[in-house]
Copies of this chain bind each other. A is one copy, B any other.
Amino acid sequence: MASFDSLHKPENNSPNIVNPLNIEEFRRQGHMIIDFLANYYQNIENYPVLSQVEPGYLKKLLPNSAPNIPEPIETILQDIQNHIIPGITHWQSPNYFAYFPSSGSVAGFLGEVLSTGFNVVGFNWISSPAATELESIVMDWLGKMLELPQTFLFAGNRGGGGVIQGTTCEAMLCTLTAARDQILSKIGRHNIGKLVVYGSDQTHCALLKAAKIAGIEPRNFRAIKTRKSAAFELSPESLQRAIRLDVEAGLIPFFLCATVGTTSTTAIDPIGTLCDVAKDYGMWVHVDAAYAGSACICPEFRHYIDGIEKANSFSLNAHKWFFTTLDCCCLWVKDPVALNNSLSTTAEFLTNKASDSKQVVDYKDWQICLSRRFRAMKLWLVLRSYGVANLRNFLRSHVDMAIRFQLLVESDDRFEVVVPRTFAMLCFRLLPTALEKKQNGFNKNGHKVDEEYTNGINRKLLGSVNASGQVYMTHTLVEGIYVLRFAVGATLTEDKHVIKAWKVVQETADAVLTAV
């Protein structure tokens, strides 16, 4: 039996404060935060794009433990300005050209803010029907914009449909697990050690990680070699060869990940022919278009996913190059039942009439986690606030800026474009080798001018460019070549930023070449 004596007395040292969700405080502080962020965007070009802090900087600035007594939002915002912003690498800066973009937008932001405000936990339909239904609807909208086959759409009524995951890593792990269980249910679970996963040496490392998590033997992971001369695409012949060898060795091929727009160089695997090879072995083919998928809403890029009708699943990250804030990975599958078979959970506390009726989608059974945020809101806002025509134009404007940058690179004969550009990312490098070969393979200071030397120069170039704080780019290494990656896609980027970036690169190259 409970009694009133069990009730707590407030801690003496604590002043009475208002309810943590007090509406007037919500309004007052909410408006403050909007202005704070608007000012942040206004001043964003004043900050070094790549944070220049040293490891451990923040520990020196913050207390060792949480305060006992509340602190006012004004103090906290001051600390964010003084202590946090210097430690941020500004992905929203117009001078950000690193990795791939994390393209924010007003609509994406508002959508996330709304879903944070509602703060529903949409694990199944009943826990917030709108969250589930809007997700199915916008996934069909986006699927239609991409001209995905009906087999991937709810509207197609053939069992397929889309789901919003957090990231591509999750999409890969879910599809790989589904494919694994599908084959093991036929051949017996004890054969797990024989299953083989295929990708190329350009496939995102998320695939290897997913395979490891799913218990696939690490030695049964095939990263098939690609070549610069073939634009780093996975060749169907190489795949065929690798599969045959494995089959002869008594192994069981079951999963292929093809990529449209690899991380290093935006290479494009030939989906259709790869699927034809995989089909002969009953393999699941997932197409990872994390970066480049969004461009396929433009008719002129759509052909890069030709053959998608033969794949089992397809994903792209709307949080990369589609104006939807992190995280929003759009995954379409032909056979959600395969996902559900692996990922569904049943617990009495989750049972409800709607789920029992099988009339509804319970997205918890399409993903790793039970709890899920209302991510469809932001994608919906992006699609509606900008409209299809403008979204295409925005993406094209980024491609155009990459073309302008390419023209600049090509106009300076100290530089070369390393891999042909397809989307809004250019792989280039400084090529002292070409310049200095005239001097019998040695530079003016007697250093041997070879690939290693060239890589060293480019490493130095990138380091200096980024240390300037004026722009941020990153690198990759392909066939032993150290490459600078210039990825256009930050929403605020305009022509003038691209031109400035090139000027920084050129001037830094001058300095680097003078110093060697």
Could you tell me if B104 and A109 are in contact, using CB atoms closer than 8 angstroms? Answer: no
Please indicate the chain B residues that have their CB under 8 angstroms from the CB of A212 in the complex.
Answer: 177, 181, 342
Could you tell me if A345 and B21 are in contact, using CB atoms closer than 8 angstroms? Answer: no
> Which of A232-240, A395-403, A437-445 lies on the face that meets chain B?
A395-403
> Which of A127-135, A245-253, A278-286 lies on the face that meets chain B?
A127-135
Please indicate the chain B residues that have their CB under 8 angstroms from the CB of A319 in the complex.
Answer: 371
> Which of A163-171, A304-312, A446-454 lies on the face that meets chain B?
A163-171
Flag whether A273 is at the interface (Cβ < 8 A): no
> Which of A31-39, A330-338, A497-505, A508-516 lies on the face that meets chain B?
A31-39
Pick the most buried of A2, A128, A181: most chain B CB atoms within 10 A of its CB.
A2
Chain A interface size, as a band, is 35 or more
Could you tell me if A91 and B114 are in contact, using CB atoms closer than 8 angstroms? Answer: no
Contact residue among B69, B167, B369 (Cβ-Cβ distance under 8 Å from A167): B369
Could you tell me if B116 and A66 are in contact, using CB atoms closer than 8 angstroms? Answer: no
Flag whether A84 is at the interface (Cβ < 8 A): yes
List A105-138 residues whose CB lies under 8 Å from chain B.
105-110, 112-114, 116-121, 125-131, 133-134, 136-138
Contact residue among B41, B71, B383 (Cβ-Cβ distance under 8 Å from A23): B41
Flag whether A435 is at the interface (Cβ < 8 A): no
Could you tell me if A2 and B410 are in contact, using CB atoms closer than 8 angstroms? Answer: yes
Flag whether A302 is at the interface (Cβ < 8 A): no
Q: Complex formed: what's the CA distance from A127 to B84 in Å?
A: 13
Flag whether A92 is at the interface (Cβ < 8 A): yes
Q: Complex formed: what's the CA distance from A360 to B92 in Å?
A: 24
Flag whether A231 is at the interface (Cβ < 8 A): no
Q: How far is the CB of A375 from chain B (nearest CB, A)?
A: 11
Interchain residue pairs with CB less than 8 A apart (19): A2-B403, A2-B407, A20-B107, A21-B105, A21-B491, A26-B34, A30-B38, A31-B34, A33-B113, A64-B144, A65-B145, A66-B384, A67-B384, A69-B390, A76-B381, A109-B119, A190-B193, A192-B193, A215-B215
Could you tell me if A155 and B360 are in contact, using CB atoms closer than 8 angstroms? Answer: no
Please indicate the chain B residues that have their CB under 8 angstroms from the CB of A394 in the complex.
Answer: 20
Contact with B along A315-358 (1 / 0, CB 8 A): 00101000101110000000000000011011111100010010
Flag whether A180 is at the interface (Cβ < 8 A): yes
Flag whether A458 is at the interface (Cβ < 8 A): no
Contact residue among B40, B67, B76, B87 (Cβ-Cβ distance under 8 Å from A133): B87
Pick the most buried of A57, A102, A385: most chain B CB atoms within 10 A of its CB.
A385
Could you tell me if B410 and A89 are in contact, using CB atoms closer than 8 angstroms? Answer: no
Given A58-B133, A323-B20, A373-B327: A213 touches B106 (CB 8 Å cut-off): no
Flag whether A209 is at the interface (Cβ < 8 A): yes
Q: Complex formed: what's the CA distance from A22 to B385 in Å?
A: 13
Flag whether A292 is at the interface (Cβ < 8 A): no
Pick the most buried of A1, A62, A130, A475: most chain B CB atoms within 10 A of its CB.
A130
Report copies per complex.
Answer: 2
Given A27-B38, A167-B370: A128 touches B88 (CB 8 Å cut-off): yes
Q: Complex formed: what's the CA distance from A354 to B57 in Å?
A: 13
Flag whether A186 is at the interface (Cβ < 8 A): no
Flag whether A189 is at the interface (Cβ < 8 A): yes
Please indicate the chain B residues that have their CB under 8 angstroms from the CB of A381 in the complex.
Answer: 76
Flag whether A254 is at the interface (Cβ < 8 A): no
Could you tell me if A92 and B118 are in contact, using CB atoms closer than 8 angstroms? Answer: yes
Flag whether A476 is at the interface (Cβ < 8 A): yes
Q: How far is the CB of A406 from chain B (nearest CB, A)?
A: 4
Could you tell me if A385 and B73 are in contact, using CB atoms closer than 8 angstroms? Answer: yes
Could you tell me if B386 and A20 are in contact, using CB atoms closer than 8 angstroms? Answer: yes
Flag whether A415 is at the interface (Cβ < 8 A): no
Contact residue among B34, B108, B119, B192 (Cβ-Cβ distance under 8 Å from A102): B119
Q: Complex formed: what's the CA distance from A29 to B25 in Å?
A: 19
Question: Which 5 A-B residue pairings sit nearest by Cβ, starting from the closest?
Answer: A215-B215, A87-B130, A14-B389, A30-B34, A20-B105
Closest B residue by C-beta to A323: B20
Please indicate the chain B residues that have their CB under 8 angstroms from the CB of A121 in the complex.
Answer: 91, 99, 102, 326
**Apart from the given pairs A2-B421, A26-B106, 18 other A-B contacts in the complex at a CB distance below 8 Å:** A2-B403, A11-B393, A20-B108, A30-B34, A55-B125, A55-B357, A57-B129, A64-B144, A68-B387, A76-B384, A87-B130, A92-B118, A99-B127, A109-B117, A121-B326, A173-B368, A212-B342, A317-B371
